[in-house]
Amino acid sequence: MKVEVIREKCQGHNRCFVVAPELFELDDEGYAFASGDGIVPPGMEEKARLAAENCPELAIVVTEDVPVASSQ
């Protein structure tokens, strides 16, 4: 699974960061981006979905099936 924040949609509500600080980071102005390459570690899938569902701007894209080890 992979998460991605669409920069043009993010308005800095910071909901994703509060729900899943392991998966998201914030820049100095509070806009969010996915940590690292956005690959969700095993066991964190539910948090990733929850972050997306709580984003009022619909700025988070969760890709359920990401080819394994493609980026390793």
Partner 1 sequence: MTTEPEIKYGNNMPWRPNTEPVEDWTKDYDIFDSGYIKDPFPVWDELREECPVAHSERWGGSWMPTRYEDLFKIAQDIQHYSSRNVLVVNFEENPDIEVDPVIAENATAGAPPITSDPPIHTWSRALLLPKFSIKAVNAYEDETRELCNELIDGFMKEGRADVAADYAQQIPPRVIASMLGIPKEETGEFSGWVQGFLEFGLTNADIRSTSAIQIFSYLMDLIQKRQQEPGDDLVSYLINAKVEGAPYPVPTPHVLGTCFLLLVAGIDTTWSSIGSAFWHLAQNPQDRKYLLENPDKIQTAIEEFLRAYSPVTMAREVTEDYEYKGCPMKENDKVLMNFPAANRDPAKFEDPDQVKLDRRVNPHIAFGAGIHRCAGSNLARMEMRVAIQEWLKRIPDFRLEDPEAVTWAGGQVRGPRQCAVVWDA
Q: How far is the CB of 36 from partner 1 (least distance, A)?
A: 20
Q: How many CB atoms lie within 10 A of CB 58?
A: 10
Q: How far is the CB of 55 from partner 1 (least distance, A)?
A: 6
18 or 71: whose CB is closer to partner 1?
A: 18
4 or 31: whose CB is closer to partner 1?
A: 31
Q: What is the DSSP string of the chain?
A: -EEEE-TTT-----HHHHH-TTTEEE-TTS-EEESTT-BPPTT-HHHHHHHHHH-TT--EEEES---TTTT-
* Residues at the interface with partner 1 (CB under 8 A): 11-15, 17-18, 26, 28-30, 50, 53-57
39 or 49: whose CB is closer to partner 1?
A: 49
